[in-house]
Amino acid sequence: MCGRFSITLPNDAMAQLFSAVPANDLPSVPNYNVCPTDAVHSVTISGGQRRLGAMRWGFIPSWYKKTNDGPLLINARGETIAEKPAFRAACRERRAVMIASGFYEWTRQGETRLPWYITRTDGAPLAFAAIWQDWSAPGAAADTMRTAAIVTTGANAEMSEIHHRMPVILEPDDIGLWLGEKGKGAATLMRAAPKDVLHWHRVDASVNSNRAAGPNLIAPIGTSDP
């Protein structure tokens, strides 16, 4: 995980909340079913200024000759990120914040996959720790795309009732350290969110399809307990 999320904030609100200059090609919002390979909203640092831009969700290592030359790398495990050849340079030099309103996770009941929608308890947007890589096919440097993966860690006790992994969720005061504005020490942020930061509710199984769309995907149904 994380393998699917939503983003419902207007672009100008994201830019304001994260003190970032917005690009002109930001993804359309709202999107209640952001899937791997979609364009996502991400904050980076360039020239000492935070920038809100678009990235392809799915990190492509520099040695891939095609986008599908290997596994689709939507997540990077925080425990091994500094050792993996695909990620180790990015975790030192190219960190980003991926913005979401909430994300989905699934539990199983027999053969049935039951989806849950997970948000911050305080209603604030989620700031996922992420890493990025510019990639282009051999001989096609003009078609460079910026690609990204969400950093994950072991779930806290509450979240482990749904899944054993969770995204690294940055608090507002931690974003500067993750992006490199406040010097070194970003590795200390790759930990599970504290108790009570997140809450969740069951949603309709229609979100099991990556083609599903609309606000009904995040509407609560049934029980709030896994």
Residue positions annotated with a catalytic role: 2, 105
The burial class, CB within 10 Å (0-12 / 13-18 / 19+), for 77 is middle
- CA-to-CA distance for 33 and 27, rounded, in angstroms? 13
Residues 6+ apart with CB under 8 A from 48: none
Q: How far from the centroid of its chain's Cα atoms is residue 140's Cα?
A: 27
Q: Which residues contact 52 (CB under 8 A, 6 or more apart)?
A: 11, 14, 15, 18, 20, 21, 22, 23, 26, 41, 42, 43
